[in-house]
Amino acid sequence: MDARAIRQAYLDLLREQRHAVIERAPLVLRDDPTTLFTGSGMQPLLPYLLGAEHPDGARLADVQPCLRAQDMDEVGDNRHTTFFEMLGNWSLGDYSKAEQIPMVWYFLVDVVGLDPERIYVTAFIGDSAHGIPRDDESADIWERLFRERGISFDRIDLDTEEYGNEVGNQGARIAFYGHKNWWSRFGGPDEMPVEDPGGPDSEIFYYFPQVEHDTAYGRYPHQNSDGGQFLEIGNSVSMTYRRTETGVVDLPKHNVDFGGGLERIAAAAIDSPDVYHVSLLWPMVEQLQKVTGKSYAEATTAMRVVVDHLRGAVFLAADGVRPSNSKQGYVMRRLLRRAMRFGLDLGLTAGVAAELVPVVASVYSDVYPEIAAGEADIVAVIAKEEKLFARTLRKGLSMVRRLGRTQPAISGAHLFELHDTFGMPIELSVEEAHRQGIALEETWQADFDALMDAQKARSRAAG
């Protein structure tokens, strides 16, 4: 199944299971100032997870576009994207994980057709400090599902990713971890803001035996290793707690929440550890190959960055965001400028928007018609930013390389001058220095920040 078919099959299944399919939320939530973007499927449903009654009932499902700007620097590997679609379903105090986990298993194995022998899972090891028990219930459900298929189901306690890196999962199908298997918007029980919900989660991974484990991420592979063999494709969250001033307490209703990354599930369906081969992304790669004359194999990282960042910027533009120097606009500007920077490596000096926006519109025309309807405006928005940045980028990159030839190391003062005088974003200056093997002074960040603070103080005084 390709990604489009997987998306539709998921919604069809959830309707059969008496879920109301709700509309997607915008990437920028008007009533949630705590984050810049919708970064998870549960975020728009926060009031209902805390106990409010949803107008469509207690069984909900959707496909939610998400954007995680914090993953921007990770884009370039085979699995990270800043923009993605999350398949989600929720029980707001209705059914439990005893019903949800088998439903997810049925979808992945019997509907999508994933090989059950290559599915591995994790569960929460417990947190005695907060009185949160070990999640043996989820592990027992998974064990039953594996047993029914004649699959081995050994368990192992790994607790931390670091320990897992040292010992590996030793073939265990079910691995227990600590806070890696606690789901909330902002980390473990201690990091959750007051009144935010959270709970233990059971994550689902697909195993790619054809990938050689990268020992840069630890001696041995395990579910939560970034070594390349295991790809997380979804999780089942027991959203049963909320944070108070004094600790973590039970929610009045116990909710369960499934989130599955569409691109990653689609990659598993075609037995590819590279999500850029899925049908939502590969047409953009093909277009880049066509217009640049370069192959994906010879320009993998650059093509991944351009494809991901342009797709994210297109959806931001469709939701009304415009490039600027603050908040959501700054992130959009950074996405576009990083895409343009890596586009230079492909020989693209201009016109990225005109080449790729129509491809994005075509790929998503059936489910997000607003992209095609706004195509001309989106192209104009991105093309304007391209034009504004083209001159700055060429001059800034040249100056970074010149500093690398003339200075023993680039200082915070050099970076501030590039930013203040020439408009070169600090992130791209630092990124280019790393790419060129140019040294940075140890105190560059502190020195740059001090100069920025002084400039802001002068601006306030002048105002």
Span 168-172, average pLDDT: 95
| 320 and 228 in a common domain | no
| 181 and 159 in a common domain | yes
Count structural domains, the chain: 2
CB-based burial, 324-333: b 16+ in 10 Å, e otherwise: eeeebeebbb
- Coil, helix or strand at residue 144: helix
The pLDDT of residue 30: 82
- Residues 383 and 391: their CA atoms lie apart, in Å, by 13
> Does any domain span residue 462?
no
Give the domain-ending residue among 238, 253, 274: 274
- Residues 334 and 72: their CA atoms lie apart, in Å, by 9
Domain that holds residue 393: 281-450
Q: What is the CATH number of the domain that holds 48?
A: 3.30.930.10
- The percent of residues in the chain predicted with pLDDT above 70, rounded, is 99
| 392 and 339 in a common domain | yes
Span 140-158, average pLDDT: 96
pLDDT tens digits along 420-450: 877 787 888 998 899 899 999 999 999 999 9
> What value does the CA radius of gyration of the chain take, rounded to a whole number of Å?
23
> Does any domain span residue 7?
yes
> Does any domain span residue 373?
yes
> Does any domain span residue 42?
yes
| 167 and 93 in a common domain | yes
> Does any domain span residue 176?
yes
| 313 and 266 in a common domain | no
| 223 and 335 in a common domain | no
Give the domain-ending residue among 222, 254, 274: 274
| 359 and 247 in a common domain | no
CA 241 to chain centre: 24
| E strand or H helix at 380 | helix 375-406
The pLDDT of residue 456: 75
| 305 and 255 in a common domain | no
> Does any domain span residue 460?
no
| 287 and 264 in a common domain | no
Give the domain-ending residue among 229, 252, 274: 274
| 92 and 124 in a common domain | yes
pLDDT tens digits along 91-111: 999 999 999 999 999 999 999
| 351 and 270 in a common domain | no
| 412 and 387 in a common domain | yes
Which residues are paired to 257 by β-bridges? 90, 237
The pLDDT of residue 122: 98
Burial of 298 (0-12, 13-18, 19+ CB in 10 A): exposed
Question: Are 425 and 385 a contacting pair, CB within 8 Å?
Answer: no
> Does any domain span residue 461?
no
User: Kind of pairing, strands 174-177 and 83-92?
Assistant: unpaired
> Does any domain span residue 85?
yes
User: Is pLDDT above 50 for 463?
Assistant: no
pLDDT tens digits along 191-247: 888 989 999 999 999 999 999 999 999 999 999 999 999 999 999 999 999 999 988
